[in-house]
Amino acid sequence: MAMYKSRLFIYFIIYSCTFCHAKYGFKYFANKVNNAVNLAINYAVLNETLSFKEPGDFTAEGESFKSYTLEKGGAIKFYCGNNETEEGRKIKMYPEDLKKTSLAPMSKSGITHSIKRVINNFGLFRSDSTLIYSLSEFLGGGYLIQYPADAVIVSSDPNFSLNFACVYDPNYDTSGENKSDELNTEEKKDLLYRWIEVKFTDVLPISYGCGSGNHPLFNNLSPENGPDKLEGTFLQTRAFCEIEPKPGMVIGIYCAAGETFNDEFCFRDSSGKTYYDPDFKYDGAGQRLHLFRVPENGFGGDVYFLCECRGKNKDTKAQVKIIKASVLSCDLTKIFEKHEPGKKISLQACRRDLRPGESLKVTVPKNYTEFYYFKHKYSSLFEPINVQHYAYRQKLDDNEVRKVKLSDLIVGDGLTIEKTPVRGAVEYLFKYNRDSILILTSETVSFEYFWTLFHRNPREREVISYLSLNEKVLAVVSIGLFPTDPYTYGCGVRNDFFRRELLDFRSEEINNKPTSICKVDGRNSPIGFYCPRPFLLEPRDCFRSVLIQTDEGEESVDLVKRDYV
């Protein structure tokens, strides 16, 4: 019967695609038929069936927990509930939509608590293939979970599992009048359930990178429609990307079917010496997704590697640049240089993290430079205009991006910004001085600049919450800073490094030497004291002891109990 339905399903797709052939062409028609054949084969041959449609499928002596591990080419077909009978409607599936969500692994608190722990599949795993199908009633309904033989699956946890539950509540009110009877209160004793756990073999770690095929397999994704559509589908911006390597980072490139992976300069120098971690067990594990791990101690100096996917004509289809340089760059002038008229420019995101001794050069067209985009004239603006003193930042609890003073974000003299006019553009050099102190005043460790096209009346915005038809953000430059020290309460030779909420602060001369004295609330933390050479910190172990005045002079007394060896 299953094979009979499969044949009918294929015939139905072929018949319906006759119209598709006429409207969209042979390639569209062929893809539809190919997908139908693959689904039907899995449905009829490769699946194991789990059916929980009636109360009789929930015997008390039955096994409540079932775990399956799918190898490539395997599949599981799953039924839960039956709307055709009253008792069947008392059987519910959790979560409701397996294509988008899953349950966290079952907790010890019981089934009522466990079915509330819903997680998004997008945050759990990614794949270049559809793994979960919702089957039509024509095919008997239910879900099909398949692992195509050529599929790539990535996850931050290679041992992740899909979890779903089929729950039978004999006291469930099918009339819909008593909604409070839903499973949202205390644990019920008379529930019967079947918990299904599905794992996959050969799961690869999620990486930073990009590739051809437009599959969202990587950590560094950008919103498809810009910052006004952050709740939309997340896709990689393009097949070409640039990665700044960090110690232990996994970097990858995905080459679609029919393409060749070119590793001539991929973590290799001109002499053929390799620079990736040789102990990384996933090195060379995939035929399409190629992964490398940066050594735990990173790279000692500047590096430039190039990983590519090439087509049949040796043309470059995808490219990952791995660049570590003391001077990083974001060149926004190239956006229109490479733009083809009539094509949409997707949001360009340039994210750079700076450490002491590193710099970032941002090159942008001069403000109010005119561009033609979709036959309309626009004026460009790099905002905020006063780059050296302002930036945009989004607080953790705020939905809007707001203009702020850099001095409100950064304490110390660690960051300098130099502005240099060049031909047709402006260069901004963000320098993180090596021997300096840089402290961040909030948990947000990055700030942004926007390059925007205005159809008319270009002006700097105080708040960026949405984009109107008059504005189009083409690029976002995001700069992250690694602070040298935490933001604390306290004082010292320089007091601009500290929080200003002090109980008391004064400067005095003691023994003819200038001295800073401050009093902080002991309930506040952390507490710091800035005392660089050649100044003297007394007592030296000031966070474990304190100076007290005695008849014989000052004496150091321990504040906390010490464990001596």
CATH code of the domain containing 366: 2.60.40
Task: Indicate if the pLDDT at residue 4 is higher than 50.
Answer: no
In order, the DSSP letters of 530-554 are: E--TTS--SSTTTTTEEEEEETTEE
Mean pLDDT along residues 429-458? 86
Q: How far apart are CA 58 and CA 194, in angstroms?
A: 8
How many domains does the structure of the chain reveal? 3
% of the chain with per-residue pLDDT over 70: 76
The pTM (predicted TM-score) of the whole model is 0.61
One-letter amino acid of 509? E
437 in the same domain as 387: yes
> 508 and 380 share a domain?
no
Please say if the pLDDT value at position 236 is more than 60.
no
Structural domain span for residue 462: 327-485
Domain assignment present for 191: no
Strands, E assignment, 46-203: 47-52, 65-70, 75-80, 91-94, 101-103, 118-120, 126-127, 132-134, 143-146, 153-155, 161-168, 192-200
C-alpha–C-alpha distance, residues 381 and 401, integer Å: 17
Tell whether 436 is covered by a domain.
yes
Say if CB 49 and CB 1 are below 8 A apart: no
- Residue 416 is assigned to a structural domain of this protein: yes
pLDDT surpasses 50 at 208: yes
Higher pLDDT, 31 or 76: 76
Residue 408 corresponds to which tokens in the numbers above? 């409100």
Q: Looking at 470, 485, 500, which one is the last position of a domain?
A: 485
* H or E stretch at 21: helix 2-24
Instruction: Flag whether 395 is in a domain.
Output: yes
> Which residues 6+ apart lie within 8 Å of 220 measured at CB?
208, 209, 210, 236, 241, 243, 351
Last residue of a domain, one of 94, 119, 150: 150
**The predicted structure's pLDDT at residue 181:** 46
Give the distance, in angstroms, between the CA of residue 564 and the centroid of all CA atoms in the same chain. Answer: 46
Q: Which of 109-113, 121-125, 177-181, 438-442 has the highest mean pLDDT?
A: 121-125
Q: Do 529 and 457 share a structural domain? A: no
Q: Which of 150, 183, 216 marks a domain boundary?
A: 150
Same domain, 402 and 504: no
Other C-beta atoms closer than 10 Å to the C-beta of 385 total 11
Q: Do residues 356 and 437 both lie within one domain?
A: yes
**What does residue 416 show for φ and ψ, rounded to 5 degrees?**
-125, 150
Residues 448 and 537 in one domain: no
Are 461 and 512 within one domain? no
Q: What is the mean pLDDT of the chain?
A: 79
* Residues 112, 78 share a domain: yes
What percent of the chain has a predicted confidence (pLDDT) above 90? 31
User: Residue 252 domain-assigned?
Assistant: no
Identify which of 160-164, 331-335, 406-410, 445-449 has the greatest average pLDDT. Answer: 160-164
pLDDT beyond 70 at 199: yes
- Measured between alpha carbons, how far is 258 from 311 in angstroms, rounded to an integer? 7
